[in-house]
Amino acid sequence: MVAAFSELRKHKIVHRDLKLANILLTKDFKVKLADFGFAKFVEDQNFLESYCGTPITMAVEILKREPYTEKCDIWSLGIIIYQMIFGEIPFNPKKGSHIGDLI
């Protein structure tokens, strides 16, 4: 996973929809990232403003509709690691709630 994440950074790509469902494993347990539908190439120091991704793993800045950087992927990666360790999502609003409850 670290190697895949490093490749994204090396090529200045922000995935913007990192979640467990987009992390695939090959037969020999190599990690493959999938679903680059929201991915974007970013120039240095540029902020992104598009509201996209999966709310449960979105960085707070995106949820609040504020400008954000490639660091939004780091937040999502943290959510994924939490899920892998504890078997649940760290911020799980009640059924029927809205984005404000998630924030």
- Domain ranges for the chain, please list them: 2-102
Active-site residue, from 17, 35, 73, 101: 17
For residue 43, what pLDDT is reported? 81
DSSP 73: H
Q: Is 35 a catalytic residue?
A: no
Q: Which CATH homologous superfamily contains domain 2-102?
A: Transferase(Phosphotransferase) domain 1 (1.10.510.10)
Q: Using CA atoms, how far apart are residues 64 and 103, in angstroms rounded to an integer?
A: 8
> pLDDT of 51-76, one tens digit each?
999 999 999 999 999 999 999 999 99
User: Is 96's pLDDT higher than 80?
Assistant: no
For residue 3, what pLDDT is reported? 85
Query: For 64, how many CA atoms within 13 A lie in the half-sphere containing its CB?
Result: 8
> pLDDT of 20-31, one tens digit each?
999 999 999 988
For residue 5, what pLDDT is reported? 84
